[in-house]
Amino acid sequence: MINFNVPPFVETAMDYIQECVKNQKICGDGAYTKKCNAWIEERTGTRKALLTTSCTHATELAALLCDIKPGDEVIMPSFTFVSTADAFVLRGATPVFVDIRPDTMNIDENKIEAAITEKTKAIVPVHYAGVACEMDKIMEIAKKYNLYVIEDAAQGVMASYKGKALGTIGNFGAFSFHETKNYSMGEGGALLIRDEKDIEDAEILREKGTNRSKFFRGQIDKYTWVNHGSSYLPSDMNAAYLYSQLEIADKINEDRKASWNRYYENLSGLKEAGKIELPTVPEGCEHNAHMFYIKAKDLEERTALIAHLKANDILAVFHYIPLHTAPAGLKFGRFNGADEYTTKESERLARLPMYYGLKPEQVDYICDKVKEFYGA
Ligand SMILES: *Cc1c(COP(=O)(O)O)cnc(C)c1O
């Protein structure tokens, strides 16, 4: 059986976790959390990175930092994970869904402006499959209307747009280190902060509304409750697990990209024959092989393809049910303009197995079975 995902694991994780346990230092913001934060800052160039308990929580922190309130509107794609919307719905805001581009499955930057009202507070681009949204255009719109930009870069660690790391372009970026992502700590994420002025507020919100981070740095002699907040710190054991992968992030990235490129080359005949579509990576986007998907003709063909692969011990899966069609999406949000591509394209998409350590022969076998399905 070829699984769809196998969570990344690196041997050194055992030593690092053991070290945490031996030193009896397993709470938040320990040595490994600091190493992970420093790694993210160095590799992405963001001003500040704070490890969190999830990408969902990092997005919640961003919503708090943007002071999102009941009645506010937040623009995002409908083709995304629930957390993108939930973080803002929790603050009483309305998610306003905008159609995607069929080539990248990312929010259509040319349909954003029509969705802006006097209530709009933020735009949340989601970098699907680690392929960047058209950030120049999005930042230009945000500037024109004075909106926050919060990048859902859950899938975008080690990916970039015109040389800038995903998650560092908007006011805030959110990474995920869930076990389905390229780098994992089981459950976890990070908030990336672009501007110096937001750092202290973020630290306070993340530390239960206290100025404890300042206290630990010796900047004040006792800490106290200074604002509302919550607890978004992961255990240092989880950070230790993650750090073992960050240390060899390039190796993991290259391994995934080799699988991605092998899929692409192997299946390009089917694409040329007009049987399937393959992912598009626009100029200036450096992706991270988070995902390899293909597009079938329609829902019926996709269902049959997934069944054919399953019968051959290959676990391929579809992805998001558009949020605007889900019960909570109907209740909390609205779709602006026509759903030209969101539903149609989401019904055609099938994700093939992709993980660190997937073998070339496995990729070839999967491609053979896809070709067999299409009679090629
Ligand atoms: C995985 C994912 C999330 C949620 O990440 P968690 O770390 O599980 O909270 C949010 N948005 C997108 C686009 C994701 O892929």
182 CA → ligand 1 middle, Å = 12
128 CA → ligand 1 middle, Å = 11
Say how far apart CA 76 and CA 147 lie, in whole Å. Answer: 13
Instruction: Work out the pLDDT band at 165, boundaries 50, 70, 90.
Output: very high
Instruction: Work out the pLDDT band at 298, boundaries 50, 70, 90.
Output: very high
Question: For 268-279, what is the mean pLDDT?
Answer: 98
Per-residue pLDDT tens digits for 307-343: 999 999 999 999 999 999 999 999 999 999 999 999 9
DSSP secondary structure of 340-375: SSHHHHHTTEEEEP--TT--HHHHHHHHHHHHHHTT
Domain spanning 249-373: which CATH class is it, in words? alpha beta
Smallest CA-to-CA distance from 329 within 96, 28, 20 is with 96
If you compute the radius of gyration of the chain from its CA atoms, what whole number of angstroms results? 21
Q: What is the DSSP letter of 182?
A: S
- Please tell me the predicted confidence (pLDDT) of residue 153: 98
Taking CA atoms only, the protein residue closest to ligand 1 atom 6 is 55
Query: Which part of the chain is CATH 3.40.640.10?
Result: 12-246
Between helices 12-22 and 236-246, what is the axis angle to 10°? Answer: 150
Q: Pocket residues for ligand 1 (CB within 6 Å)?
A: 54-56, 80-81, 83-84, 126, 152, 154-155, 176, 178, 189
- Please tell me the predicted confidence (pLDDT) of residue 376: 84
Residues 213/216/222/227 CA torsion (nearest 10 deg)? 10
Percent of the chain with pLDDT strictly greater than 70: 100
DSSP 3-state assignment of 127?
Answer: coil
Smallest CA-to-CA distance from 287 within 192, 188, 155, 168 is with 155
| Tokens representing residue 293 in the block | 């998907």
Best residue among 61, 81, 107 to mutate for probing ligand 1's pocket (most ligand atoms within 8 Å of CB) is 81
CA distances from 52 to 64, 153, 206, 209, 263 (A): 14, 14, 8, 15, 33
In this structure, are residues 82 and 101 in contact, taking their beta carbons and an 8 Å threshold?
Answer: no
Per-residue pLDDT tens digits for 180-239: 999 999 999 999 999 999 999 999 999 999 999 999 999 999 999 999 999 999 999 999
Per-residue pLDDT tens digits for 112-161: 999 999 999 999 999 999 999 999 999 999 999 999 999 999 999 999 99
Q: What is the DSSP letter of 235?
A: P
Give yes or no for residue 101 having a pLDDT over 90.
yes
Smallest CA-to-CA distance from 172 within 191, 200, 199, 197 is with 191
Query: Which part of the chain is CATH 3.90.1150.10?
Result: 249-373
Question: For 58-74, what is the mean pLDDT?
Answer: 98
Count CB atoms within 10 A of the CB of residue 357: 12
Beta strands in 158-250 (DSSP E): 160-161, 164-165, 172-176, 189-193
Per-residue pLDDT tens digits for 239-266: 999 999 999 999 999 999 999 999 999 9
Question: For 281-309, what is the mean pLDDT?
Answer: 98
Q: What is the number of the ligand 1 atom nearest to the C-alpha of 176?
A: 7
Percent of the chain with pLDDT strictly greater than 90: 99
Q: Strand 94-98 vs strand 120-123: parallel, antiparallel, or unpaired? A: unpaired
Total residue length of the chain: 376
Say how far apart CA 254 and CA 31 lie, in whole Å. Answer: 28
176 CA → ligand 1 middle, Å = 6
Domain 12-246 sits in CATH at 3.40.640.10
- Please tell me the predicted confidence (pLDDT) of residue 214: 93
Count CB atoms within 10 A of the CB of residue 268: 12
- Please tell me the predicted confidence (pLDDT) of residue 113: 98
Best residue among 133, 178, 182 to mutate for probing ligand 1's pocket (most ligand atoms within 8 Å of CB) is 178
129 CA → ligand 1 middle, Å = 12
Taking CA atoms only, the protein residue closest to ligand 1 atom 8 is 178
In this structure, are residues 363 and 13 in contact, taking their beta carbons and an 8 Å threshold?
Answer: no
Smallest CA-to-CA distance from 355 within 292, 281, 262 is with 292
Instruction: Work out the pLDDT band at 166, boundaries 50, 70, 90.
Output: very high
